[in-house]
Amino acid sequence: MMELQEEYKNFELDYVKEHPDALISVLLIDRAIGARAVTSEEAQAMFDGLSPEIKKTKAAVSITEKLEAQKKVEENQKGTAVGAKAPAFSAPTPDGKELALADALGKVTLIDFWAAWCKPCRAENPNVVSVYEKYHDKGLNIIGVSLDKQETHGKKLLLKMA
């Protein structure tokens, strides 16, 4: 299925490159952006290849706005990509103290984002605790970041896991 989807995507993108004067090319770029099938850089290159007449259409003007939005999203995601340096943050601990990521510098630290309402997160919580218990004496630290809107949900779960 994935091979067919990739083939279909490539067919559409090749069509755009081969038909810069076709209005359908703008619509195909728009769909590729909406489906996140291409990066903003790839979409921009295709858009730049369109004819000047097609770039003046209402659909093309809409694409420029979507491209700017996608560029911002991609830029924001760079800071949270696998292997990227984590952005600096701090947050209150369950006992009311402030904990900053900078406090963990120089230590092997796992940052676990979870929420009490997230079933996969809850299923993984015992494994996180097990890894902590197994490797904490060897230098591993874990910072659990609760995404719960109500403060008490995270505190209750932390107490159950402790």
In a domain, 105, yes or no: yes
Q: Is 133 found in the same domain as 97?
A: yes
Q: Is 67 found in the same domain as 18?
A: yes
Q: Is 114 found in the same domain as 157?
A: yes
What is the model's pLDDT at position 159?
A: 42
Q: Is 107 found in the same domain as 53?
A: no
In a domain, 84, yes or no: no
What is the model's pLDDT at position 108?
A: 87
- Sign of the dihedral through C-alpha 85, 87, 89, 93: negative
Q: Residue ranges of the chain with pLDDT lower than 70?
A: 151-162
Closest Cα partner for 52 from 26, 18, 13, 28? 26
Q: Quick check: helix, strand or coil at residue 110? A: strand
Rounded-to-10 torsion of CA 65, 71, 76, 81: 140
Q: Quick check: helix, strand or coil at residue 72? A: helix
What is the model's pLDDT at position 129?
A: 92
Quote the CA–CA distance of 162 and 145 in Å, as a whole number. 15
Q: Is 72 found in the same domain as 23?
A: yes
Structural domain harbouring 111:
90-161
Could you read off the pLDDT of 62-109 as tens digits, one per residue?
999 999 999 998 888 887 777 777 778 888 887 888 888 888 877 888
CATH number for the domain spanning 157: value is 3.40.30.10
Q: Is 155 found in the same domain as 95?
A: yes
pTM for this prediction: 0.54
Residue at a domain's end among 55, 78, 101: 78
In a domain, 85, yes or no: no
What is the model's pLDDT at position 157?
A: 45
